[in-house]
Amino acid sequence: MSAPFSTLAEFRAVLANAPGKNTEAQAGAEARNGQLTKPPGALGRLEDLAIWYASWRGTDRPEMKAPQVIIFAGNHGVCAQGVSAFPPEVTVQMVANFEHGGAAINQLSKAFGAKMDVHALDLDTPTADFTQAPAMTEEEVVAALQTGWNAVDPNADVLVTGEMGIGNTTSAAAVAAAVFGGEAGDWTGRGTGVDDAGLSRKTDVVARGLALHADAIKDPLQALRCLGGRELAAMAGAIAAARSCSIPVILDGFICSAAAASLHAAQDGALDHVVAGHLSAEGAHANILSNLGKDPLLSLGLRLGEGSGAALALGVLKGAIACHSGMATFAEAGVADG
């Protein structure tokens, strides 16, 4: 699916002109939900989830048969500042693990019948250290957005985006701070396990990046460019592409949510086709989800990334859809209604 933009301005226009939900399908799904053989509201949030899914799939009785999981990987120049417990070489090593089927996300994708794709974005050329210069040029961030857009299978019926990139919790914290405001320390956390000194360095790095790019990052897409990473931009591009195809999206953890936040801030309603798969153990993730107005489906203390929490939430969504579309109505079952 070829990206219909070649500049940030054109990408912004794509967001502004994205299709909305199918209100007729939503009304039909609400009516069907009211006729199913259960007390009103007995399935709780599963009912709302199924109706939301139906409104984006354009049918009152949807199915989920073709989930897609896409993992994007990128390297970060800001790692030179000592913000991660692991060296950048781990990014390349983990991409190989994904490609050979050895990671947690491989197992979860397989468990829920999802097609999984991996895209490594210029791992030999890390982004610039954002305490010294913008992380990406416009050409670089647009290329990453295009990679994300083009990676989406238009025949998918739900999308999960995940990431791998040593140092990317630092970029995600910086993007979140730029988009939502507050102090650097409100958004930084221990990521994959930095000690107290590492957390202090990380917070200082985010504060310096915010100060250096203060004027540019008033625009959320420029915040993604100046402070983000290629994998964050690719996830944003994929989420936007899914909207163009009316494919519902399940957000993963802190990094994915920060990438999505740039879309949310750039265009009202840009994440209406999105639900939050889980609440991760990274402290500021709850703050991002609160600002996005998204209640997580799961809260299991996960901090892995890779799309793992969102992939696990595929099971919740699949269950909601199965109940909604497979249950009998009172009339079909010959059960007295109410």
- Residue 280: φ, ψ to 5°: -85, 175
Q: One of 138, 231, 306, 332 is an active-site residue; which one?
A: 306
Q: What is the dihedral of CA 163, 135, 210, 168, to 10 degrees?
A: 20
Computed from CA positions of residues 108, 110, 115, 116, in that sequence, does the dihedral angle turn out positive or negative?
positive
State how far the Cα of 338 lies from the Cα of 336, in Å rounded to an integer.
Answer: 6
- Which letter does DSSP use for residue 76 in this model? B
Residue 124's CB is within 10 A of a number of other CB atoms, namely 7
Q: Please report, for residues 86, 119, 165, 214, the alpha-carbon distance to residue 127 in angstroms, rounded to integers and kept in the order given.
A: 17, 16, 11, 19
Beta carbons within 8 Å of 292's beta carbon, 6+ residues apart: 257, 260, 261, 264, 271, 276
Q: Is 183 a catalytic residue?
A: no
In the 8-state DSSP scheme, what is residue 321?
A: H
Active site residues: 306
